[in-house]
Structure 1
Amino acid sequence: MPLFKKKMQRSKSLSRKEISLARLENFRKEVITDHHTVPLGELCRRLNTDRENGLTVKQAADVLQKTGPNTLTPSTKTPEYIKFLKTISHGFSVLLWIGAFLCFAAVTLRKLTTHEFDTDNLILGCVLVVVVMVTGVFMYFQEHKSQKIMESFANMVPPKATVIRGGETMTIVSRDIVIGDLVDMKFGDRIPADIRIIQSQGFKVDNSALTGESEPQYRGTECTSDDLLETKNFAFFSTNAVEGTAKGIVVACGDHTVMGRIAGLTARLQPNKTPIAKELEHFMKIISCWACLLGFVFGGAALAMNYSWIEASLFLIGIIVANVPEGLLATVTVCLSVTAKRMAGRNCLVKNLEAVETLGSTSVICSDKTGTLTQNKMTVCHFWCDNITTNADITVQQNAAKNYRNTEAFDLLMRCATLCNRAEFIHGQEGEPIATRSVRGDASEEAILKFVELSHLHGSPTDFRKTHPKLLEVPFSSTTKYQLSIHEMDGRCLLVMKGAPERILARCSKIFIDGTTKEMTEEYRIKCDNACVQLAEKGERVLGFCDLLLDESYTKDFKFCAEPANFPRRDLRFVGFMALIDPPRPQVPDAVERCRNAGIRVVMVTGDHPITAKAIAKEVSIIKSKESLDVANVGVVETIPPTLKDTAIVIHGSALRDMTNQELDHILRSFKEIVFARTSPTQKLQIVEGFQRLGQIGKLFAFNS
């Protein structure tokens, strides 16, 4: 019979793994849809909607009745009494219940046979019951409190959204949004569903919670990739709009959104037993076998010595109960509770007490980058002007900002950065440190604004902008990849521009270098290109800056027009680069080194660009090898040359998608320093399962500050 049970348990375990892998594969297939690639007309016909007027009110009501509300299906709630019964009947508690039952059986047996009352066994049985009940109450209270906190996260679902139905704009509760609805979005909104963008005006979204991109991502009408997570004409449920406005057609709601499928996939996974649960279960089996063996040996010996069967039975029960460690469960529970309380004092929520011990048994840490290893805050880290690259102070205080080279080239760069910038400080925080002040605007422009404020070259950027008012602005777009503005400057008009380095350099015929303006020769262009490449190889986002003092025919009264442009946009003067990065948290390198000394591997798993991920990994000591193997767009062979065993490896999500489990396991086993970049949330789960197949005990850290 025990053998049959073991086979049944093994078959259940295998089927559960197979089901998990099948669901993972199905999710990968489901998430690859054509909603972002089909022509807009075909999409409207498919969803029976109109790109101008949206659905009618009746159509929306019919669809809502068929598909249900736009919400994630909540997990099945276990009744509270069932949760309590589980806490007093799992693992080692079973052995204590058996011991208590044997004690009460001994009391009953002695009372029935000898008419004597066995006070010792009665007290011992009651003690065992009290121990189980008290420890159960401790565990139930801790898990119940954590569960309440986790349930409060459900309030993050956007409460309202603006839709166009029958040509009329109306605000409705987001749960009433249906597939085919025409949604109007603006900065500050939370995206209420998966939406195909059909109109966009400087629209940007924060996808850091989904893809790990710390920089807000532009969203337009053009399909830029077959990969749904990479294309620019799609906005995802529960992400945030941070800039601009847009309209779009809802193509997926609730559980069918990308975020909903991820939530459903993780909710269906069966949690593995914790190391302490496995050890207690193993210890319980050993103690049970040992106690039963001793009990039957001494019970048999008592019978052989001509004791009655009643006395031999009581002796057998006493031996078994004597070998039950009554205080072990209480000791373990109290220790875990004290540790959980200490961790709560450090803002670390412990949902399950046994997870505390699992944290101490960790052998692998898979960590996200954005907001976990980094500060989730863009910062100017380098700037290049006058053919000199200068390291910017990226500390919170930034005390070295006042020591930057106060040259004319730096002055021109700061002038461009101040004027060609839409970000502004929020009023009411003037007395606070610059690094901690809130800014309204794009993350990159926020970083540049704070950098300019700290340099103190032109005083306050706000005052400088008031002195030189803006006459025209052309916002950044994915097509032009530059931002342009024209300002009044001492009776003349100054054009300033910033954007992608290659686009800026292509529009420049002059350069300010060596303290004067010179023609942009091929030699100077090569110097600029080399400086840009060196900064980009550090994983930094590089922006180029240029300006042009318009001739006297352009005055402040001239009516500038952006489309078609009635002013020059070429033959500009290049003034320099600024490089931005999401800097690592100051305490991370030391933490990574301490984990390494403790025998714990730290692996980066991020949705960010491989170059950026690799640069941050080197900066925080996840990668210490001088050489690294980059794997992208191709599969990985099973055999890796021995010369590469001690190198680091950077794996692109596209390569991971084509790997088999055997190839992934081979990489996880062969390389000590690993970085996964451009990974989707599903692939992160795949990586964790790969480490679990190798018998590793690990944690996946992914949170934003």
Structure 2
Amino acid sequence: MNSKLNEKRKHELEKISREVEMEDHIMSVSKLCTTLNTNLDTGLSPVAAKQILSTNGPNIVTTNIATGEWIRFVKNLFDWFNSFLWIGSLLCFITYITETYESSVDAQPDDLYLGFALAGAVTISGCFSYYQEAKSANIFITFRDLIPRYVTVIRAGSKLRCPVNEIVVGDLIEIQAGDRVPADIRITESHGLKCVNPLLMGNNEPFLRSNECTNTNPFLTKNLIFFSTNCVEDFSGTAQGIVIKTGDHTLMSHLLANYYQRKSTKKSSESLLNKDITFFIRIITAVSLFIGVILSILSYTIGYSWLNAIIFMIALFVAQIPEGLFPTLSVVLSLAAKRMASKNCLVTNYETVETLGLTSTIITNKTGTLTQNRMIVSHIWANNSVINSENLYRHSDGYKADLDSPAWRALIRIACLCNKAEFSAAQARLPPLKREAIGNSTDVALLKYMEIIIGCVESYRLKYPKIFEILFNSNVRHSLTINKFSGGFWLCMKGAPEVIFDRCSTILVMGKIRPFDQKYKSYFKHILEEFGSFGERVIAFCDTYLPYNEYPTDYTFDYELENYPTKDLRFVGLISLNNPPRASVPDSVHKCRSAGIKIIMITGDHPITAKAIATAVGIIPDDKQTMDENYRFGLRDIHENDEFTSPVITGTQFQRLSDQHLNHILSSDTNIVFARMTPNQKLIKCCRNKKSVNAVTGGDVFENADIHIAMGMTGSDMSKQRADIILLDDDFASIVSGIEEGRVIFDNLKKSICYTLSSKTPIICPFLLYLLIDIPLPLGSITILCIDLITDMIPAISLAYEFPEYDIMKYKPRDPIINKLVNKRLLFLSYAQLGVFELFGGLFTYLVIMNENGFNLSYLLGIRKLWDSMAINDLMDSYGQEWTYNRRKALEYTCHTAFFAAVVITKWSALICCKTRRISIIKQKMKNDVLTFSLFFELGLAVFLSYCPGLDRGINLYPLKLYWWFCSIPFAILMIIFDELRRFLLRRYPNGWVENETFY
């Protein structure tokens, strides 16, 4: 191990070790057991474990995260976007102070109000974003507890699954590949276990563990593994050890700050959603600043003071920025995560939810995801006979299976001993099929079946103690045990038939050992095809005898040396297992097909079995063949220019494919099944090269995958720790639900942005008219903020609660490069269509009020300088009335309030129009209660701001006559009619001009 560490890292570990007083790895195991009052064979008693737990507390690492919370709050308050608004607020205060000291008359308080309004808006927005972020974190913590995290503990001689937080010092526990070490452990027995701890070792190299003390430094010895260490899943390995430290007393608790960070081998990258939003915000910020600067310069050149010019710039900048976007985004992601959790889909990285909506390829394993992960023994081959498991004594020729024959005794021996599964001790009286068992689904099925036909498997195992073990993994595709018998050892092996066939030279049939020749191999190929056609997984069994004269009783079997036979073994038999598909999968597969999502199923099963399962759930049609069938089992070579018609490809064939040929296969729209292999970087990289967004299930983490999905029930601790999404029920349907949720997020964000941006046209155009045609200002800076920060905020957020449109899973995934969150069609619709109706509604109301008071349109043109002059107090209107400066401003502020009210009325229609992107509002209906509430809430706020006593003197919002509220209603009605017609044309003429120009 030391050779893998550089000198600098060794020096650092030596320095850390000097701070730690530990001798647990140096003392003998017997002395350690005495010190901790435990037993190497039986572990602690339940009573002793309970007492230690009450004394030492749970196995939990605590931390003070208050500082982190403050940092997170400050980041939300002062991110780069909010910083612009803080600068704007500061400029408003500076302008007001400067104007107060430079002017001989009292300064107008508009600048002061604007400064406070901006500061308040940013504070509220920052607090809201922080609240949503904290709420999302709490949702994750709540549902994280649903993920089972257990460890196998031996107490009073019985194995049981114990919650990680209940293990105590002195517990005897078992660790295997894929586990995350729950405490500091002294290893007492190890069989090829390899671990990685990049935090400690500084790299991701796997280190072999053993029960030998190899270094006085606890960090460099092989017989210790530390809390949070990952046991490598790619290697077979198990270990047993004694817990020596738990919770805050573990050595790794010194590095606690790093423990709470999400450890992942994938490189950190910004999500596609974040990229879209950041790009949009930067563009609109730059455009807003540009427009603000240009118009402020223009206003300065036509006679405004530099202070007023700055105020114009700030107001125009604020007018163009969608201040409610980030709060809306927080709500959308939080809601989506909560909805997904309710569908047994736990999101560990919330921005991944929207990326999941982009998924164009799902690379999924079979067992547990597409199937129920409840395997049962179906058929058995032994002694040249195929037997149905439901009736062990039934045979097609009328003979009974002889369980006492050498072949059956050997098959039973391997199935019982080369098996990691164990029954729960608390359910001994239940029938075997109803008892809970610890282990993988294959081993559990074999254990239960052996329990039925021979009785107590546990007693059988006690007769023949296990000396050495290698667990099954996807690399070697077999498991192996060596057990002690009288006179010698028996090496038992089970695994994939092809692997076992290659390792066997003889076969046990009818009590005789015969050569395992090509005739037998051809015969078994047909047997495998027959079992596989039923969708059954087939396990092959073989063994060999190791006499004591060649392998003494004290012989040490070594995983790395491989000092035991793995060739010329004796073939014994086959057992097939049935794993029924989940009932929800066919419908989910159909949804994927409708949504243009390709499914790539990867399984370690035989290609015929893989084909049968894939056909049963609808991934591939029944008439498709395997590549072996197309190419006559390798009699013809695979060429790159061959037309791809074989959706089932084996791992061996996959390795022979060039990248060009693989790209050709993956570019087809056909779903594909890869048999006898696991997900690997080559496959995922090729999928990535096709510019597809890949969601990958399984225990491994791939840097080229966009989304990593772990199984909550059967997944390893290591895979859950690194996953973006965890399926609590291991169900493929949950992935499809997540994809649908991701599409809903994108749709609802688009709708919210479209609604928010629609008010920018009626906000900025009054400033342009004010400067270009010299009319009194129709809409003031305070009322702009009322629209942006008060009345618009809740309706924009309410669109996060909008239900999905019925066709959301009936179109292909969007291209994130072409179809961004904000595109020119969305801008065209919001600014030039919906926004224009709002502008006309506001201007019409403005002109009605001005005309009532003697200022018709022709009279208003060019009157701005006279209107704004404080020296003129006898301005004549068209009726011959004289208007003082204060009366003119009161009328102007009334127009501001009326324009604001008109925008609110037309925004009702805009909100209703934004409920759907394609389907009719009539079909979508008003099912969103939050949106309905927001309509009346928005109107209520507008009424309050208009009629609240004192606001006319405070922020210049004046009461309105009742009928002025109705001036904009015709424009609101026209907006709905126009947009319904637009959506009708979208549906009637797909890919037509209307869709190309307005479908966002």
**What is the correspondence of 1:204-603 to structure 2 with a 5 Å cutoff?**
235=237, 267=264, 269-376=266-373, 378-383=375-380, 412=401, 422=416, 426=424, 428-429=426-427, 435-439=433-437, 444=442, 446-448=444-446, 450-451=448-449, 462=455, 506-509=507-510, 530-532=526-528, 534-535=530-531, 540-542=537-539, 578-580=575-577, 584-603=581-600
Instruction: Tell me how far 1:693 sits from its aligned partner.
Output: 4.6
Distance change >3 Å, CA 309–CA 347, structure 1 → 2? same
Residue 98 of structure 1 corresponds to 84
Q: Deviations over 1:49-89 (max 9, x none)?
A: xxxxxx9769xxxxxxxxxxxxxxxxxx9955444444445
CA contact (8 A) 1:372 1:701 kept: no
3-state secondary structure, aligned to 1:643:
coil
In the aligned structure 1, how far is the partner of 2:290 from the partner of 2:134? 34
Residue 138 of structure 1 corresponds to 132
Instruction: Tell me how far 1:328 sits from its aligned partner.
Output: 1.8
Residue 96 of structure 2 corresponds to 110
Instruction: Tell me how far 1:381 sits from its aligned partner.
Output: 3.3
Instruction: Tell me how far 1:110 sits from its aligned partner.
Output: 2.6
3-state secondary structure, aligned to 1:280:
helix
Distance change >3 Å, CA 666–CA 291, structure 1 → 2? same
Residue 21 of structure 1 corresponds to none
Q: Deviations over 1:109-148 (max 9, x none)?
A: 1332143333541224312321123212321453477489
Distance change >3 Å, CA 280–CA 444, structure 1 → 2? closer
**Residue 84 of structure 2 aligns to which amino acid in structure 1?**
I
In the aligned structure 2, how far is the partner of 1:89 from the partner of 1:644? 55
**Residue 133 of structure 1 aligns to which amino acid in structure 2?**
C
Instruction: Tell me how far 1:483 sits from its aligned partner.
Output: 11
3-state secondary structure, aligned to 2:455:
helix
CA contact (8 A) 1:649 1:671 kept: no
In the aligned structure 2, how far is the partner of 1:144 from the partner of 1:425? 36
**Residue 85 of structure 2 aligns to which amino acid in structure 1?**
G
Instruction: Tell me how far 1:284 sits from its aligned partner.
Output: 0.8
Residue 693 of structure 2 corresponds to 697
The equivalent position to 1:184 in structure 2, one of 156, 180, 189, is 189
Residue 790 of structure 2 corresponds to none
Distance change >3 Å, CA 149–CA 526, structure 1 → 2? closer
In the aligned structure 1, how far is the partner of 2:82 from the partner of 2:519? 83
Instruction: Tell me how far 1:697 sits from its aligned partner.
Output: 2.5
Q: Deviations over 1:359-387 (max 9, x none)?
A: 22222223344544445554323346999
CA contact (8 A) 2:648 2:674 kept: no
Residue 121 of structure 2 corresponds to 127
Residue 167 of structure 1 corresponds to none
3-state secondary structure, aligned to 1:349:
strand
CA contact (8 A) 1:484 1:498 kept: no
**What is the correspondence of 1:38-53 to structure 2 with a 5 Å cutoff?**
none
CA contact (8 A) 2:377 2:449 kept: yes
TM-score scaled to structure 2, two decimals?
Answer: 0.40
**Residue 507 of structure 1 aligns to which amino acid in structure 2?**
L
In the aligned structure 2, how far is the partner of 1:375 from the partner of 1:614? 17
3-state secondary structure, aligned to 2:600:
strand
CA contact (8 A) 2:607 2:626 kept: no
In the aligned structure 1, how far is the partner of 2:664 from the partner of 2:359? 21
Residue 640 of structure 1 corresponds to 640
**Residue 641 of structure 1 aligns to which amino acid in structure 2?**
N
In the aligned structure 1, how far is the partner of 2:240 from the partner of 2:352? 36
CA contact (8 A) 1:299 1:313 kept: yes
Residue 628 of structure 1 corresponds to 627
In the aligned structure 1, how far is the partner of 2:455 from the partner of 2:685? 52
Per residue, is there more strand in 1 or in 2? 1
3-state secondary structure, aligned to 1:507:
strand
Residue 551 of structure 1 corresponds to none
In the aligned structure 1, how far is the partner of 2:638 from the partner of 2:508? 48
3-state secondary structure, aligned to 1:142:
helix
In the aligned structure 1, how far is the partner of 2:638 from the partner of 2:537? 33
Distance change >3 Å, CA 360–CA 619, structure 1 → 2? same
CA contact (8 A) 1:382 1:578 kept: yes
CA contact (8 A) 2:625 2:645 kept: no
TM-score scaled to structure 1, two decimals?
Answer: 0.54
3-state secondary structure, aligned to 1:644:
coil
Q: Deviations over 1:667-696 (max 9, x none)?
A: 644675445567688x44x65455445433
In the aligned structure 1, how far is the partner of 2:394 from the partner of 2:541? 19
In the aligned structure 1, how far is the partner of 2:139 from the partner of 2:505? 56
CA contact (8 A) 1:426 1:440 kept: yes
CA contact (8 A) 1:295 1:317 kept: yes
Distance change >3 Å, CA 510–CA 666, structure 1 → 2? same
Distance change >3 Å, CA 326–CA 195, structure 1 → 2? closer
In the aligned structure 2, how far is the partner of 1:343 from the partner of 1:139? 17
Q: Deviations over 1:206-256 (max 9, x none)?
A: xxx9898xxxxxxxxxxxxxxxx67xxx63xxx5679xxxxxxxxxxx99x
Q: Percent identity?
A: 25
**Residue 291 of structure 2 aligns to which amino acid in structure 1?**
L
Distance change >3 Å, CA 117–CA 161, structure 1 → 2? same
**Residue 184 of structure 1 aligns to which amino acid in structure 2?**
E
In the aligned structure 1, how far is the partner of 2:505 from the partner of 2:664? 45
Instruction: Tell me how far 1:355 sits from its aligned partner.
Output: 2.0
- The higher radius of gyration belongs to 2
Instruction: Tell me how far 1:327 sits from its aligned partner.
Output: 1.7
Distance change >3 Å, CA 482–CA 327, structure 1 → 2? closer
For structure 2, list consecutive stretches of 5 or more residues without a partner in the other structure.
6-24, 29-64, 101-106, 151-163, 174-181, 198-205, 213-229, 242-250, 253-260, 471-477, 486-491, 513-517, 550-570, 695-706, 715-1000
Instruction: Tell me how far 1:664 sits from its aligned partner.
Output: 6.4
3-state secondary structure, aligned to 1:702:
strand
CA contact (8 A) 1:383 1:391 kept: yes
Residue 217 of structure 1 corresponds to none
CA contact (8 A) 2:383 2:509 kept: no
Distance change >3 Å, CA 287–CA 477, structure 1 → 2? closer
Instruction: Tell me how far 1:333 sits from its aligned partner.
Output: 1.0
